[in-house]
Amino acid sequence: MKRYEQYKEWTTINFKEILEEELRLSDFQKHAGISDFTKYWKNQRLKKKGGANISARLVKLKVNRKKDYVTFIFYSAPTYSLTGKVTSPKNNMELKKESPWYTQEIRILDFFKWAKTTPGYTSAKDLTPENLKEIFKVASIQVFCNDPSYHFQGFNWVTSQFDASIYPTDIEPEYWRKWHNDDGFLCKHLSMLFASINFWLSPMASMLSKYFKDKM
């Protein structure tokens, strides 16, 4: 596994403790996961466009029982400019061939394995929202964003070193290393989701709970 030995030469942040385990929601919250360069542009966007609870939307759920994961899919409005009005993801949310949204994904790994550790577990449809949120917090996760910067500026490569990318890559960043050499895990769209993840846990739990009640 690649992980620490390759990544340690690029970053000044000590992720030794994280690397002993796969990444969880709290890891992205605790360590921010963004470089100073990305943080600057994220803060500019926050001032003009608002947080992810305003400029993003939870739109879809994928459940894969065979591979034991659930994936939550979000749409996040592009910034376009810091002066223009943000494109609202609350309007015209149909996914078209040429979608105006960036798509973020958060995948909860080993979901059913964790679910079975819930006291009194008999079926996923009996899990309470609090049970689900607890699983979201303790399970390992993977992420992805189709914003081109997530791949081409090296964030996808870094998360791939931690087995935390849904669509991993072995293409290392070159030019962008000098801009993200402190902490380059997340683009601003993903970082804004994790900054407000406590807001999203309840909608995620409600969506999954409804799925179990409808499908089981």
How remote is the C-alpha of 116 from its chain's centroid?
A: 24
Could you tell me if residue 80 is inside a domain?
yes
Dump pLDDT digits (tens) for 37-91.
566 556 666 666 555 556 788 999 999 999 999 999 998 877 654 444 444 444 4
Which tokens is 106 given?
């958060």
Q: Could you tell me the residue range of the domain that residue 200 belongs to?
A: 24-94+101-141+177-215
- pTM for the model stands at 0.77
How remote is the C-alpha of 163 from its chain's centroid?
A: 13
> Residue 173: how many CA atoms within 13 Å on its side-chain side?
25
Could you tell me if residue 111 is inside a domain?
yes
H helices of the chain, in order, are 3-7, 16-19, 25-31, 36-49, 52-55, 111-115, 129-138, 148-152, 155-161, 177-180, 188-195, 197-215
Enter the DSSP assignment of 141. E
Could you tell me if residue 154 is inside a domain?
no
Q: Which of 59, 70, 166, 194 is nearest to 127 (CA)?
A: 70
Could you tell me if residue 36 is inside a domain?
yes
Question: What's the domain count of the chain?
Answer: 1
**How many Å apart are CA 22 and CA 64, to the nearest integer?**
20
Could you tell me if residue 7 is inside a domain?
no
Entry field: residues in the chain:
216
Say what the pLDDT of residue 151 is: 80
Could you tell me if residue 116 is inside a domain?
yes
Could you tell me if residue 192 is inside a domain?
yes
Enter the DSSP assignment of 124. G
**How many Å apart are CA 185 and CA 202, to the nearest integer?**
25
Confidence of residue 22 (pLDDT cuts 50, 70, 90): confident
